[in-house]
């Protein structure tokens, strides 16, 4: 019987062992966060010019989200690079020949 911890470990192992595609999600999330931060800048500037109060520390949040997105992008790229190196060092063949029509000697 699998406990929740064992099921989570098995799922994580299954997702990360055979592919590097999950690493791309960090890059995509980083782009989304950085884009959201960049799209928020004109609103903050408009509010500042028109003396509209923006709740919270808009400039600080904008900066944190932007640089957090950049960090995710960079970590994702490094992860993809390391993942590709790992897949190559496993020394698995690119393909497996199931059968041939060449007679055995």
Q: Which residue has the higher pLDDT, 75 or 99?
A: 75
Distance of alpha carbon 33 from alpha carbon 74, whole angstroms: 13
Q: Is residue 24 within 8 Å of residue 80, measured between CB atoms?
A: yes
Distance of alpha carbon 15 from alpha carbon 5, whole angstroms: 15
Q: Is residue 81 part of a domain?
A: yes
What is the tally of structural domains in the chain? 1
Q: Is residue 72 part of a domain?
A: yes
Q: What's the mean pLDDT when you consider all of the chain?
A: 87
Q: Is residue 99 part of a domain?
A: no
Q: The pTM is what?
A: 0.68
**Residue 70 structural domain:** 20-89
Q: Is residue 14 part of a domain?
A: no
Q: Is residue 101 part of a domain?
A: no
DSSP helix/strand/coil, 42? helix
Q: Is residue 1 part of a domain?
A: no
pLDDT at 47: 86
pLDDT-derived band at 98, boundaries 50, 70, 90: confident
Question: Which tokens sit at 60?
Answer: 């600080």
Q: Is residue 5 part of a domain?
A: no
Query: Is the pLDDT at 43 greater than 90, yes or no?
Result: no
Q: Is residue 105 part of a domain?
A: no
| Three-point CA angle 58, 62, 68, nearest 5° | 145
pLDDT at 102: 84
């Amino acid at each position: 019987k699998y406990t929740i911890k064992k099921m989570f470990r098995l799922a994580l192992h299954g997702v990360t062992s055979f592919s590097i595609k999950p690493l791309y999600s960090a890059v995509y999330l980083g782009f989304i966060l950085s884009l959201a931060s960049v799209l928020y800048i004109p609103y903050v500037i408009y509010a500042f010019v028109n003396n509209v109060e923006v709740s919270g520390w808009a400039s600080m949040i904008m900066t944190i989200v932007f640089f957090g997105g950049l960090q995710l992008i960079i970590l994702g790229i490094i992860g993809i690079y390391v993942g590709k190196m790992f897949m190559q060092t496993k020394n698995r063949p690119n393909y497996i020949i199931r059968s041939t029509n060449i007679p055995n000697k």
